[in-house]
Amino acid sequence: MVNVPSTLRNDPETADGVDLRSMVLETRRLVAPPVQFVAFWAAISLPFLYLPLFSGGLESAEVTVFLGLVALHVVALFLGHGHRNDR
């Protein structure tokens, strides 16, 4: 019997000969710019949604909406902070 070495590595980073790390990096490279673009412009436009809430004063039901908007704004700021940072 002849021992033939396998060309596929037998570790958790590969699945059927495909390097999972390179797949994740390629997916991130393709997905990150559109996500940053949308998050950047959402971070700019979300403060305009605060104005109707503040105009009539915050009632108990509106406090939840306001806190949700603030949380969404923080996430948008975090995700969009690198948009067009290369220029």
Q: What is the pTM of this model?
A: 0.66
Q: What is the largest CA-CA distance in the chain?
A: 84
CB atoms near residue 20 (< 10 Å): 11
Average pLDDT for 3-18: 57
Rounded CA-CA distance 28/30 in Å is 5
Amino acid identity for residue 25 in this structure:
L
Mean pLDDT of 79-87: 76
25-53 average pLDDT score:
91
Domain assignments of the chain as residue spans, ordered by start: 32-87
3-state secondary structure of 28: helix
CB 15 within 8 A of CB 9: no
d(CA 47, CA 45): 6
